[in-house]
Amino acid sequence: MEHIRKLGYRRLGLLIGVIALLMIPLGITNPYFMYVINLILIYILLVLGLDLIVGYTGQVSIGHGAFFGIGAYIAAIFSTKLGLSFWFTLPIAILATAIIGFIIGFIGLKLIEEYLVMATLAFGTIIWLVFLNWTDVTGGPMGIALIPSPPAMNFGIFQLSFTQYADYYPLLLFFVIVAIIFTKLLINSGFGRACTAIRDDELAAQSMGIPVFRTKVVMFTISAAYCGAAGTLYAHFIHVVSPETFNFTMSVTILTMVMIGGQGSIIGAVLGASLLTIFSEALRATPELRMLIYGLLIVIMMMFFPRGIMGIINYYRKQIEKRALLKKMKGAKATVDVKKEGLGYE
Amino acid sequence: MIVDQLINGIVLGSVYALMAIGYTMVWNVLRFINFAHGEVYMGGAFVALTTMYLGAPVWLAYSCGMLSGALLGYLMEKLVYKKMRTAPKLNLLIAAIGIAIVLQNSAQLIWGASPERLASPFLANNVNIGGMMVNQHYIFIIIVTIIVMFLLEFFMNRTLMGKAVQAASQNIQATELMGINANKVISITFAIGSGVGALAGILVGPVFLVFPTMGVFAGLKGFTASVMGGMGNIPGAMVAGLMLGVLESFAAGFISSGYRDAVAMVILLAILLLRPQGIFGKVVAEKV
Amino acid sequence: MIFGKTKFNGCIAFFMALTLILAGCSSEDGSSSKAEASDKSESIRVGLQAPMTGDNAQYGQDMKNGVDLAFKKINAEGGVNGKKLELVVGDDKATPSEAVAVVNKMIMNDNVKAIIGGYNSSPTLAAQEVSKNAKALHVHMGASPEFTTLDNDYLYRIILTGQVYVPAVLKYMAEEKGIKKIASIYENTDYGITMSDSARKAAESVGVEFIATETYNPGDKNFSSQLSKIKKMKPDAVMIVGLYNEVALIAQQAKQAGLDVQFFSPDDSMYSEQLIELGGDAVENHIFASMINMEMDTEAMNEFIKLSEENNIEPEANTAIAYDAALALAKAFEEGGDSPEKVRDAMAKIQMEGTTGLIQFDEDGERSNAPMIMQVKDQKFIIIQE
């Protein structure tokens, strides 16, 4: 009985939550805030994608900005030159980034640790240079402008014409929710557990019979596909793509979001993407100080809170749980001893 | 045209070689890539520029730039990396990138974004070498690089401190057990690597100008050269730097100048995949 | 069990909190915009879209100085119809995507009524879509001829289009200097490509020939390979389409490579003391077409120089041009009042003397003053042909 009631509450909670999220555009009248929220949703997709490989599989990539860019450029090229709509460019971009991700993963994932970092860095830079120099296709430094909006959608009660930022919100939210559910399913599956095993101890995983290399490549491919989807959404949302958006800085930004949110956590991904985006938009008023403060924040977070915001949250949650446990146990000593693993290094 | 490109390549290559030394030395003792190394290159050049602006003679300005580069590297290690000795490599990497962002933007706040030219007593003259007009400053760069290489070689093999650095790159724990102060060795490594990096920045300042983001690509190239030479191999890094400069220059001249920077990246990828120990590295079995 | 309960609740709670905060912000903003409505009578906000950081930051700073000067002058004289002008600065980093983001922010969040800038063509081409939809006047300084073809009534160009500059300078080179073979090196952006295209079109009519074209990307600092290719072709003159950083560097590196010919540029984007500071002897004799002469003895120019001395600002060409843009905009606001359409119509009919001569626009939002030919002589800019 108890169980069912709890389940009911959860359903109710889900329903209320989704409705609340859908109501956001009504509550926010300032289109700029809507723009920032949409940007956050795109970043969440990217961070979820990168977290699959960094947080769950333990392989570092500083080239994911390139996958984001490939997705965006494919959307831009196919929609402006061939006139394809968003619903066609999206699967094309996802497929293409997945294929490229597979190739890169297949070549690069044989490398370990720092060597993989270098290889992904080289890959990201090469792709960025291609965006910059293949002027006939990518428009060179000018990029591609006038990317059309997604076609209008009619749901009876309300319709999305994609003429204002609020219209993009439900679409982006839909993709983010799908991505969260997919991520959750993926990491709870046997395949996901194999990835976590590789992250924790590659050698042990191998001796347990997990095909380490194949697992890594598959995860890398999926991760690239997330970024491709985010790129397509970005291109159709901003309507212009240009190479600097997808350079080394973007790869670093995504990785920083993963690290600051906390690796291997969906809420961490959401938190990291939201906070860093808001932070960087809020600092727009002082362009000279913007990146300086941003850099300082990164250094301080990495020095003192290496496990990101989720690390801090977990630490305090454990402390509270311990206290509660101690209260329950009569006669126990009143000292609370929580291992500081949430805050410190491993 | 071939000779032109060759000279350009050697000049660029000298700079890459000097940059590569910093990466390689730090890798040697700490096994990590100091992504903020490019910013030392920029910082040194800016300090030299300011000292010269204050009226110092050229040699004094150049040495001040070099010393402040060394100091910057030393402080970087003392203030941040030292506190993160036990941290996972990924955290260290991101912290290094954070430092690079901070330094770049501080430089922009202090000196402004517009590029400035560092003065050089040699820039205005060309010398005739076998019918080719070569700029004197280019020759100055090559000579300085050769001198630095010899000095480094002497330091590493003939001095006690140099031998301590070599020992630390073999095994830092064992070094400590032998009674060598590992922290001191690490500090010295950072200071020397950064000083040489700053010198590279000062040398190119008169040719390619000094500006806050100058370190980004120079850093990537130096880093590529250090991988090419085999991570941790100082003579290898120097030769690889020269090779990279020449290759790049030829590629830019005969293929396309837009893809100049891609050449280094393609080489980096190829080396990593085919010969991760570097062109001059020995194969070392991975300890399991 | 797709969601862990706590995690799911956490997610929902976070989003709700975010909504509340942002809704709070926006309603607060609503009230403040109501508050603004009352003090709307006191201020008109104008956005500056320009590169404030990165390689082009110097141009952004010059433009900001110019607009600041103009606004200070207007506000000291009582403002526009009693309203004060207020500047909002947006950094476009000289890139299209940042430009769109920042113009969006300025129009939607900061409530600006017009945009001045950008400096570079590509970001401005991307950003004018946004200001067009918001019916905000956009007075820019991009040189690319492409702007003429756009269907945007709110877009005005305060400088001349490349189609005016290019033939003027080519004609001068052909007639006065007897140049036949030209090599060009241009920036691989809207600005460089379109300028170079118009140059090639204009070349036939004045009897010159382009024998080599090389490109570079914005931010490049090493031009040795392009220059050695050009050197091999033995041109009579080299046309550089770029900003002062590049012009100074290219001239210097050409000298080092032993390429000693006449250098020229089609427009005045390198008209800045910085060019001489960076280029030194190498930029001596550089020829370019310009719409402005900082030494000119006109009432507007003298006033500008006086103002900049009072405020301790370097009187650069771009500062003066941005100053003109701000004055023209202020005049349009004064005549047009609150309605964006009326302001636009006032801008279209504007006629005033600025530092750059008579300011008036044709139906494409272009100016049609005659450019002068200038040259660097003894570390100074002098006019060699009116």
Neighbours of chain B (3+ CB pairs under 8 A): A, C
pLDDT, residue B19, reads: 93
- Band (pLDDT 50/70/90 cuts) for residue A334 is low
Give the CATH number of domain C43-159+295-359; options: 3.40.50.2300, 2.40.180.10, 3.30.450.20, 3.40.309.10: 3.40.50.2300
Count of the separate structural domains present in chain B: 1
Report pLDDT for C48: 93
Does residue C43 register a pLDDT over 50?
A: yes
**Structural domain boundaries, residue B145:** 2-274
When the pLDDT of each residue in chain B is averaged and rounded to a whole number, the result is 87
Predicted local distance difference test score (pLDDT) of residue C16: 56
d(CA C22, CA A34): 9
Cα–Cα distance for residue pair B63/B80, rounded to 1 Å: 26
Could you report the predicted ipTM of this complex, rounded to two decimals? Answer: 0.86
Q: What is the pLDDT of residue A195?
A: 93
Residue C241, sorted as left (phi over 0), alpha (psi -120 to 50) or beta, turns out to be beta
Contact (CB, 8 A) for C207 and C175:
no
Q: Which chains are adjacent to chain A, needing at least 3 Cβ pairs under 8 Å?
A: B, C
Mean pLDDT within A19-40: 80
Distance from CA of A5 to the nearest CA of B (A): 44
Q: Tell whether C17 lies on the interface with A, counting CB pairs under 8 A.
A: no
Do residue C14 and residue A270 have CB atoms under 8 angstroms apart?
A: yes
B136 Cβ neighbours under 8 A, 6+ residues apart: B122, B123, B125, B126, B127
In the predicted structure, residue C7 carries a pLDDT above the cut 70:
no
Report which of residues C371 and C145 the model is more confident about.
C371
Per-residue confidence band for C41, with pLDDT thresholds at 50, 70 and 90: low
Tell me which DSSP letter residue B283 carries.
P
pLDDT value at residue B148: 92
Contact A71, A227 (CB under 8 A): yes
Establish whether the linkage from the previous residue to C118 is cis, with ω within 30° of 0: yes
Confidence of residue B45 (pLDDT cuts 50, 70, 90): very high
Contact flag C10-A35 (C-beta cutoff 8 Å): no
Least confident range from B54-58, B78-82, B257-261, B282-286: namely: B282-286
Q: Mean pLDDT, to the nearest integer, of C222-235?
A: 87
Cβ-Cβ contacts under 8 Å between A and B: the total is 123
C12 pLDDT exceeds 80?
no
Q: Would you tell me which residues 165-224 of chain B have a C-beta closer than 8 angstroms to some C-beta of chain C? A: 207-209, 211, 213-214
The pair phi, psi for residue C43, each rounded to 5°, is: -145, 145
Q: Would an 8 Å CB–CB cutoff place B68 in contact with chain C?
A: no
User: Do the Cβ atoms of A287 and C25 come within 8 Å?
Assistant: no
What is the tens place of the pLDDT at every residue in A223-254?
Answer: 999 999 999 999 999 888 988 889 888 998 99
- 């630095």: which residue's tokens? B148
C-alpha closest to that of C115 among C45, C189, C48: C48
Q: Find, among C241, C280, C373, the residue nearest to B120 by Cα.
A: C280
In a domain, B122, yes or no: yes
In the 8-state DSSP scheme, what is residue B286? P
The per-residue pLDDT for range A125-164, each reduced to its tens digit, is 999 999 988 888 998 888 888 888 888 888 777 777 887 7
Q: Is the pLDDT of residue B114 over 50?
A: yes
Q: Alpha helix locations (H) across chain A? A: 2-27, 31-54, 64-81, 86-108, 113-133, 135-138, 165-188, 190-200, 202-207, 212-238, 248-261, 266-282, 287-304, 308-328
Question: Would you tell me which residues 31-90 of chain C have a C-beta closer than 8 angstroms to some C-beta of chain A?
Answer: 52-53, 89-90
To the nearest whole Å, the CA of C296 is away from the closest chain A CA by: 35
- B173 to A86, B25, B80: CA distances (angstroms): 58, 17, 21
Comparing CB atoms, the residue among C16, C22, C122 nearest residue A33 is: C22
According to DSSP, residue C56 is labeled: T
Q: Which domains does chain A have, with CATH numbers?
A: 28-304 (1.10.3470), 307-346 (no CATH)
Whether C109 sits inside 8 A of A146 (CB atoms) is: no
Question: Quick check: C228 and B1 CB within 8 A?
Answer: yes
* Separation of alpha carbons A322 and A340, rounded Å: 13
Residue B144 belongs to a domain = yes
Which residues of A fall within a CB distance of 8 Å from B32? 114
- Give the Cα separation of C333 and A238 in Å (integer): 30
Nearest chain B CA: its distance from C282 CA (Å): 9
Q: Tell me whether residue B56 is in a domain.
A: yes
- Does C295 have pLDDT greater than 90? no
* Residue A249 CA to its chain's centroid (Å): 15
CA distances from C172 to B144, C169, C180, C235 (A): 46, 5, 12, 17
Model confidence at B116, pLDDT cuts 50, 70, 90, reads confident
C188 vs A57: CA distance, rounded Å: 41
Quick check: A227 and A46 in contact, CB under 8 A?
yes
- In 3D space, the residue among C189, C183, C150 whose CA is nearest the CA of residue C51 turns out to be C189
CATH no. for C163-290:
3.40.50.2300
* CA B30 to each of CA B85, B87, C360: distance values in angstroms, whole numbers, following the listed order: 9, 12, 65
Better-scored residue on pLDDT, A41 or B7? A41
C-chain CB neighbours of A30 within 8 Å are 25-26, 29-30, 108-109
* Facing B288 at nearest CB: one of A62, A133, A203: A203
Residues of C in contact with B124 (CB under 8 A): 281
Using a CB-CB cut-off of 8 Å, the residues of chain B touching A303 are 80, 83-84, 95
**Who among B33, B108, B266 is closest to A288 (CB)?**
B108
Residue B284 to residues A64, A74, B288, Cα–Cα distance (Å): 30, 42, 12
At C11 the pLDDT is 56
Q: What is the model's pLDDT at position B198? A: 95
pLDDT-derived band of residue C25, with 50, 70 and 90 as boundaries?
very low
Q: Look at residue C10 and tell me whether its pLDDT is greater than 80.
A: no
Share of residues in chain C with pLDDT > 70 (%)? 89
Residues 6+ apart with CB under 8 A from C306: none
Residue C24 in this model has a pLDDT that exceeds 60: no
In a domain, B288, yes or no: no
The pLDDT of residue B242? 92
Count Cα neighbours of A238 within 13 Å in the Cβ-side half-sphere.
Answer: 31
Q: B281: which DSSP letter?
A: P
Mean pLDDT of C143-166: 85
Q: How far is B103 from chain A (nearest CA, A)?
A: 8
Beta bridge partners of C48: C89, C116
As a whole number, mean pLDDT of residues C202-228 equals 86
Residue C201 scores a pLDDT above 80: yes
Query: Does residue B177 carry a pLDDT above 70?
Result: yes
Q: Is the pLDDT reported for residue C298 higher than 90?
A: no
CB contact under 8 A, B114 and C225: no
CB C265 within 8 A of CB C240: yes
In a domain, B200, yes or no: yes
Domain boundaries, chain C: 43-159+295-359, 163-290
Q: What is the pLDDT of residue A86?
A: 92
What's residue B37's pLDDT? 93
pLDDT value at position C17?
Answer: 58
Within 8 A of A296 by CB-CB distance, chain B residues are 98, 102
Contacts of C217 in chain B (CB under 8 A): 258
Residue C19 has pLDDT above 60, yes or no: no
- Confidence (pLDDT) at C204: 84
- Residue of higher predicted confidence among C352 and B113: C352
Q: Are the beta carbons of B100 and A306 separated by less than 8 Å?
A: no
Please state which of the ranges A115-124, A159-168, B124-133, C184-193 shows the lowest mean pLDDT. Answer: B124-133
Query: Which of C236, C240, C245, C232 is closest to C209 using CA atoms?
Result: C236
Angle (CA) A87 A88 A89, round 5°:
100
Retrieve residue A9's tokens: 């509450």
Closest chain A residue to the Cα of C105, Cα to Cα: A32
- CB pair distance less than 8 Å for C97 and A244: yes
Question: Containing H/E element for C212?
Answer: strand C209-216
Between CA C169 and CA A263 the distance in angstroms is 59
Average pLDDT value for residue range C170-189: 88
Give the lowest-confidence range in B52-56, B128-132, C131-135. Answer: B128-132
Q: What percent of chain A has pLDDT over 90?
A: 41
Between A317 and B284, the higher pLDDT residue: A317
Q: Is residue B283 part of a domain?
A: no
Topology agreement, domain C43-159+295-359 and domain C163-290: yes
Looking at the complex, report in whole angstroms how far the Cα of residue C123 sits from the nearest Cα belonging to chain A.
8
- Mean pLDDT confidence for A156-182: 85
Coil, strand or helix at A28: coil
C91 three-class SS: strand
Judge: C125–A28 Cβ closer than 8 Å, yes or no: no
Percent of chain A with pLDDT over 70: 91
Average the pLDDT over A170-194 and give the result: 92
Residue, of A130 and C189, whose pLDDT is higher: A130
Q: What is the pLDDT of residue A5?
A: 61
Cβ-proximal residues to A203 (8 Å cutoff; 6+ apart), any chain? B288
Q: How far is the C-alpha of A190 from the C-alpha of A195, rounded, in Å? A: 9
Mean per-residue pLDDT for C287-301?
A: 87
B5/C277 touch (CB, cutoff 8 Å), yes or no? no
Query: How would DSSP label each residue in C286-308?
Result: -EEEES--TT---HHHHHHHHHH
Is the pLDDT score of A326 beyond 50?
A: yes
> Distance (Å) from the C-alpha of residue B228 to the closest C-alpha of chain C?
23
- Name the minimum distance, in Å, from the CA of A307 to any CA of chain B: 9
Say what the pLDDT of residue A2 is. 58
- Which residue in B10, B109, B114, B250 has the most chain C C-beta atoms within 10 A of its own C-beta, making it the best mutation to test that interface? B114
In chain B, which residue's Cα lies nearest the Cα of C259?
B133
